[in-house]
Amino acid sequence: MTQQVFYDAPMRRALELSERGQVTGGNPQVGCVLLDDTGRIVAEGWHRGAGTPHAEVDALSHLTDARGLTAVVTLEPCNHTGRTGPCSEALIAAGITRVVYAVSDPGRESAGGAERLRAAGVEVIPGVLATDVEQLLHIWLTAVARRRPWVTVKWASTLDGRAAASDGTSQWITGTAARQRVHEQRAASDAILVGTGTVYADDPQLTVRGDAGELLRHQHQPVPVVVGERPLPADAALRRHPAGVIETGTRDLGRVLADLDARGIRRVYVEGGPTLASAVVAAGLADEYAIYLAPALLGGEKLAIGDLGIRTIADARRLHIVSVEQLGEDLLVIARPTRTPENRGV
């Protein structure tokens, strides 16, 4: 049995533990187990979110003496002092003699933990169950490596692709089950992007609410971000949002996303309307689509997506379907860009 395979089972446990962590808040989900020299798990830990102990430190906190143990952790131990100290130093100080991890840390500031551990004489084994862990951390890893948040574009439309009626009304195209799913998707995001057009037309709350429309106070509330040059009206409902509101005052999507990245925002949910959604798609910034389709027809000009600058079918933005689900009478289609040389992930 190779050393790598020997650590598969404890890494699987570390992966399970990592899933208890939260997907929002900027930090990755990380799990850690500590093994004695027979391979028995003697302590477990996971990261509960930004500002709380990292998984390695959480696992170490359960023991008074960790000398000679092996740490199995889903992400390379960090090497930087942020809101908490570097995990590489904590492992060295605790006398850990071997560190096994799955995926390297892509962060410019936090990477370098493996090197630091080796320099202190700790044996380091990288890459154990890397594919499984990468799958769980795909969105976070992509956002950190690219230095911009992962962008999901959501819209609700009729089967003929209309997002509003000719008088501008669009509440509600879909039924209760679909709208409830939107609230779940909001809760799994760090920020919600909305154009000034929707703010002026609908005065949305953009909060995470329950079945009866009640605010879910114990649920994570992503911050709403208003994109566009017009000011937010003084009496806008967004001014009462529990997470506050970010007014960008610009249409420059690159600048908006760079600013959100600097705030530690990794997951953005774009709730439209059609002008903003189209601009995001046209700029090649959409990583995922959440399209709610209602069995209704509206006809007319209020399309869910406007002009993308595509003149011929060969230039169509090709997507692949990740899932299709029926929610009450409606359908939810999740799709992602097909990555080909002609369609560079757009």
Ligand X SMILES: NC(=O)c1ccc[n+]([C@@H]2O[C@H](COP(=O)([O-])OP(=O)(O)OC[C@H]3O[C@@H](n4cnc5c(N)ncnc54)[C@H](OP(=O)(O)O)[C@@H]3O)[C@@H](O)[C@H]2O)c1
Binding residues (CB under 6 A) for ligand X: these are 155-157, 163-164, 168, 170, 173, 194-198, 201-202, 227-230, 251, 253, 271-276, 279
Closest CA to 134 of 215, 36, 5, 18: 18
- Of 250 and 340, which CB lies nearer to ligand X in the complex structure? 250
Token pair 């799709």 is at which residue? 335
- Of 216 and 283, which CB lies nearer to ligand X in the complex structure? 283
In the complex, minimum distance from the CB of residue 196 to ligand X, in angstroms, rounded to a whole number = 4
In the complex, minimum distance from the CB of residue 251 to ligand X, in angstroms, rounded to a whole number = 4
In the complex, minimum distance from the CB of residue 311 to ligand X, in angstroms, rounded to a whole number = 20
Residue type, 332: L
Is 76 an annotated catalytic residue?
no
Closest CA to 105 of 191, 47, 188, 41: 47
In the complex, minimum distance from the CB of residue 207 to ligand X, in angstroms, rounded to a whole number = 15
* Distance between CA atoms of residues 151 and 280, nearest Å: 9
- Of 279 and 333, which CB lies nearer to ligand X in the complex structure? 279
- Of 54 and 241, which CB lies nearer to ligand X in the complex structure? 241
The two three-digit tokens of residue 11, written as one number: 């890494």
Among candidate residues 56, 76, 271, 288, the one labeled active-site is 56
Q: What are phi and psi of 215, to 5 degrees?
A: -65, 130
Residue type, 227: V
In the complex, minimum distance from the CB of residue 230 to ligand X, in angstroms, rounded to a whole number = 3
Task: Say if residue 333 is exposed, middle or buried (CB neighbours under 10 Å; 0-12, 13-18, 19+).
Answer: middle
- Of 25 and 273, which CB lies nearer to ligand X in the complex structure? 273
Tell me the C-alpha to C-alpha distance, in Å, between residue 49 and each of 25, 27, 233.
6, 6, 34
* Distance between CA atoms of residues 222 and 148, nearest Å: 17
CB 195 within 8 Å of CB 272: yes
- Of 45 and 228, which CB lies nearer to ligand X in the complex structure? 228
In the complex, minimum distance from the CB of residue 344 to ligand X, in angstroms, rounded to a whole number = 20
Non-local CB neighbours of 92 within 8 Å, separated by 6+ positions: 116, 117, 120, 122
What is the total residue count of the chain?
346
In the complex, minimum distance from the CB of residue 117 to ligand X, in angstroms, rounded to a whole number = 45
The SS3 call for residue 163 is coil
Q: Count other Cβ atoms within 10 Å, centred on residue 300.
A: 12
Binning the chain into helix, strand and coil, the percentages to the nearest 5 are 30, 25, 50
- Of 76 and 261, which CB lies nearer to ligand X in the complex structure? 261
* Distance between CA atoms of residues 283 and 10, nearest Å: 43
Active site residue ranges: 56
